[in-house]
Structure 1
Amino acid sequence: MALFHRKRPEAPATAGTTALVEADPALAALTGDYTIDPAHSSIGFTVRHAMVTNVRGAFGEHEGTLRLDGSDPARSTASLDVRTAGVDTGIADRDAHLRGADFFDSETFPLMSFRSTAAEQVAGDRFRITGDLTIKDVTRPLTIDLEFHGAATDVYGAERVGFEGRAEILRSDWGLTWNAALETGGVMVSDKVKLTFDISAVKAAPQG
């Protein structure tokens, strides 16, 4: 993902060009392969329920990798797999319904996945990544807005990076169309779903 490329204030990009300026050496040094740390990361969602309130949930089982290039952000990539059976909204019956055929059909389609196809810097530490999101047997493009939260070496000597991301989808675009009409008008579950990503990733040790 393009997380480390910063524009220099004295050299703004001109209209119609791509902002490819010299990267900060300290940030360029973060270039490498990273593994997402599921113990310190979360993937959440929010959906409107019964037209009046929000239901929030998360996917507790996921894994992924990042290949970061601080000198040439366009070469950065991301891969993420999420186990749909790990959906958790805090209500067991609702989670069972989400795992069933009306929604994720987790027994048949245990994973949903994201594979990046492009990345760009928007401004400062804000970036945008585009890729293919697959849910069940449907693959469609997804754009995620990202904010880079920094890099640090933890108490075990591991090099970490962190970022926060947001996106919105229409679940019907991926064939998740189950709903129920309300007597007062409207539907039980909104089509729009807000996604959130809070990611900590650990740099792989040098080979050899």
Structure 2
Amino acid sequence: MGLFNRRSATATLPATGATAAPVDPALAALTGDYAIDPAHSSIGFTVRHAMVTNVRGSFADHEGVLKLNGAEPAASSASIDVRIDSIDTGIADRDAHLRSGDFFDTAQFPLMAFRSTGAEQLGGDRYRVTGDLTIKDVTRPLAIDLEFNGAATDVYGNERVGFEGSAEILRSEWGLTWNAALETGGVMVSDKVKLTFDISAIKSAA
């Protein structure tokens, strides 16, 4: 399956020049291109609603490529595209509102995209990937903290790797500014949004 958006090439991550931490031996052996498996991955979000509770949602339709250099993590890269129409919060009316011009305006801006520009090992199996996140017509930097969950060969003979992580953004910085005031004070939707990533990727054939 090809990427939804081929305008941006996957960037190669530059080495920082800093002294590298010991690489996780399980990750050190992994080198090559890995395609994200959407059937076994999730990209989700959590946002405070009405000041007192959290709404959780996910995007079912996404794809991407990880270019891993296990011996030198800083030389790895990531490219992910998300079809925003696939948003699901469990309530159809709310999902329709999120697709509308008040929020994502998916008719005009159907994709959310992330392109990495750097990576660093934080210690052990923890990593930080930095890059550019594009929502609507706004591109801003984003840092994602990830944990390497391991590698395995599945029952079909596919070589798989797993990562999970999270990041926080202020949605207003990407032009998602709709809100409503509450009679008791405060607003309907928090500006802060937590993004979550649970990624399973399959090594591509040489």
Q: TM-score, normalised by structure 1?
A: 0.88
Question: Could you tell me which residue of structure 2 aligns to residue 124 of structure 1?
Answer: 124
Contact 2:20–2:121 (CA under 8 A) maintained in structure 1: no
Question: Could you tell me which residue of structure 2 aligns to residue 174 of structure 1?
Answer: 174
- The root-mean-square deviation of aligned C-alpha atoms, in Å, is 1.6
**One-letter code aligned to 2:128:** R
Contact 2:47–2:194 (CA under 8 A) maintained in structure 1: yes
- CA distance 1:97–1:124, shift in 2 (3 Å): same
Displacement of 1:152: 0.1
Runs of at least 5 residues in structure 1 that lack an aligned partner in the other structure:
1-15
Question: Could you tell me which residue of structure 2 aligns to residue 6 of structure 1?
Answer: none
Displacement of 1:25: 6.5
Question: Could you tell me which residue of structure 2 aligns to residue 94 of structure 1?
Answer: 94
Contact 1:47–1:194 (CA under 8 A) maintained in structure 2: yes
In structure 2, distance between residues paired with 1:27 and 1:91: 39
What per-residue deviation string (whole Å, max 9, x for no partner) do you get for residues 91-140 of structure 1? 00000000000111011101010000000000100000000000000000
Runs of at least 5 residues in structure 2 that lack an aligned partner in the other structure:
1-15
User: Is the counterpart of residue 18 in structure 1 residue 18 in structure 2?
Assistant: yes
Displacement of 1:160: 0.2
Displacement of 1:21: 6.0
What per-residue deviation string (whole Å, max 9, x for no partner) do you get for residues 183-203 of structure 1? 000000000000100000000
Question: Could you tell me which residue of structure 1 aligns to residue 199 of structure 2?
Answer: 199
Q: TM-score, normalised by structure 2?
A: 0.89
Q: Percent identity?
A: 77
Contact 2:66–2:79 (CA under 8 A) maintained in structure 1: yes
Displacement of 1:72: 1.4
Displacement of 1:30: 1.1
**One-letter code aligned to 2:127:** F
1:190 match: secondary structure: strand
Q: Which protein has the larger Cα radius of gyration, Structure 1 or Structure 2?
A: 1
Instruction: Tell me how many residue pairs correspond in the alignment.
Output: 191
Contact 1:33–1:203 (CA under 8 A) maintained in structure 2: yes
Question: Could you tell me which residue of structure 1 aligns to residue 49 of structure 2?
Answer: 49
